[in-house]
Copies of this chain bind each other. A is one copy, B any other.
Amino acid sequence: MSIREEVVSKAKQAKKAARKLAHIGSEIKNKALLEMADELEKQTEQILAANEQDMDYGREHELPESLLDRLLLTEERIKGMADGLREVAKFDDPIGEVLGMKKRPNGLKIGEVRVPLGVIGIIYEARPNVTADAAGLCLKAGNAVLLRGGSNAINSNKAITNALAKAAVQAGLPEGSVQLVESTDREAVQVMFKLNEYLDVLIPRGGAGLIQAVVQNSTVPVIETGVGNCHTYVDGEADLEMAKRIVINAKCQRPGVCNSMETLLVNQDITEEFLPVIVKELKQKDTLVKGCAKVQEIVAEVELATEEDWEAEYLDYILAIKVVKDIDEALEHIDKYSSKHSEAIITENYTKAHKFLDLIDAAAVYVNASTRFTDGGQFGLGAEIGISTQKLHARGPMGVNQLTTNKFIIFGNGQIR
């Protein structure tokens, strides 16, 4: 079977499955999710063995430690995936909810009902847990899912998908509800990009390069996720103790994720009071600090930041700091460099807080809180499939509701125009 044949035949089967899945009730879907969780735990040994193959390959090919860590599965991580599926089983089923039915003057009753998207393609990189997380959310919302993970994790992904698919079918979901594209050749992804006939949406999960490749080449509608060049602006009227706490949290609590802060903007009125303190704390947390010339004037040992630093999504213990004249310069800087993910202002000034909320164009805009909260769980959506940084369909953390669409239903009694 050629690569193309594999992808097309699986996509076709997914489409078939999706037609049935759309009309399967919550009871069976939830039963399937719970049995998928059990099956993952039951197959822990096989999954760990498969993961060991991927790890061996990764070590032989000298993959970076951070990547190997993302690739690594343990008994605990498998339990984590299983518990994730059990959590999703507890969510309300979004499908079938009727939104705002109204009676029109001519007597037509017109409402909108929430229905699944159909077939969702997920294109992701090293982390094998995405396999279970994405499958669970897609199924909960009545969608079939076609997964395509990175080649480094292929054995792990196969083992996980086998367990999930087996349990799903046993619980009564149609064959083809959860499938993995097994070809690790780039061509497989290119085939997915053009499969408008079978795929309703593609969601890339991974680094900026992967996401851009999908956006630039796919004719299937795409939901862009997760590139985060996030800023925090500490205003001249900020509570500096609060500012310090938030800045350290936004940068250092987990720098490798998209909602961590990459650039700190500091109002010029507080540089002498704030910069030495915050740079010292950042260094205690092993964070490399870069800064504009004005930062250097106050804290000499800081490296000079360049244009690339303002553009960088470090995803690491590195922070760029820039001194700005006022909120307008902060807004301008953010407007120029932001990836429109999460932006925060720290201020006690009411007017400036609201100006920031109004004028920032991003998925999430914060006053006096860490950007690290941009997350489906933190926002109360349950688990998330990713964080959309585009404007169409969904913006910000996407939960099960964002994996659905609506259709209008119209009850008439003979109306004509």
Contacts and interface: CB of A to CB of B under 8 A. Distances in A.
Interface of A: 19, 22-23, 102, 104, 108, 110, 112-113, 115, 117-118, 196, 200-201, 215-216, 219, 221-223, 239, 242, 245-246, 248-250, 253, 335, 357-370, 372-374, 378-380, 390-393, 395-396, 405-417
Contacts of A410: 364-367, 369, 373
B102 A414 contact: no
A176 to B, nearest CB: 17
B357 A409 contact: yes
A21 to B, nearest CB: 12
A99 to B, nearest CB: 12
A379 to B, nearest CB: 6
Given A215-B219, A216-B219, A396 B408 contact: yes
A242 B216 CA distance: 50
In the A-B complex, the 5 residue pairs with the smallest Cβ-Cβ separation, listed nearest first, are A369-B412, A249-B416, A391-B405, A393-B393, A364-B408
A416 B370 contact: yes
Given A104-B379, A253-B416, A364-B410, 11 more contacts: A118-B391, A201-B392, A221-B221, A246-B416, A250-B416, A363-B407, A364-B409, A365-B407, A370-B416, A393-B393, A395-B408
Given A245-B414, A366-B410, A391 B200 contact: yes
A393 B392 contact: yes
Contacts of A364: 407-410
B408 A365 contact: yes
Contacts of A405: 391-392, 395
B249 A417 contact: yes
Given A246-B416, A391-B118, A392-B392, A408 B363 contact: yes
15 contacts: A22-B361, A117-B391, A118-B391, A200-B391, A201-B391, A216-B219, A223-B392, A245-B414, A253-B416, A367-B411, A369-B415, A373-B415, A392-B393, A395-B406, A396-B407
Contacts of A200: 391-392
Contacts of A118: 361, 391
A23 B358 contact: yes
A361 B370 CA distance: 42
A262 B249 CA distance: 60
A161 to B, nearest CB: 25
Contacts of A413: 242, 368-369
A116 B367 CA distance: 21
A378 B417 contact: yes
A400 B245 CA distance: 42
A95 to B, nearest CB: 11
A365 B416 contact: no
Contacts of A415: 368-370, 373
Contacts of A104: 378-380
Nearest to A379: B110
Nearest to A358: B23
A174 to B, nearest CB: 15
A220 B367 CA distance: 31
Nearest to A366: B410
A105 to B, nearest CB: 9
Nearest to A396: B408
A215 B364 CA distance: 29
The residue among A110, A117, A380, A391 with the most chain B CB atoms within 10 A of its own CB is A391
A361 B20 CA distance: 12
A15 B113 CA distance: 35
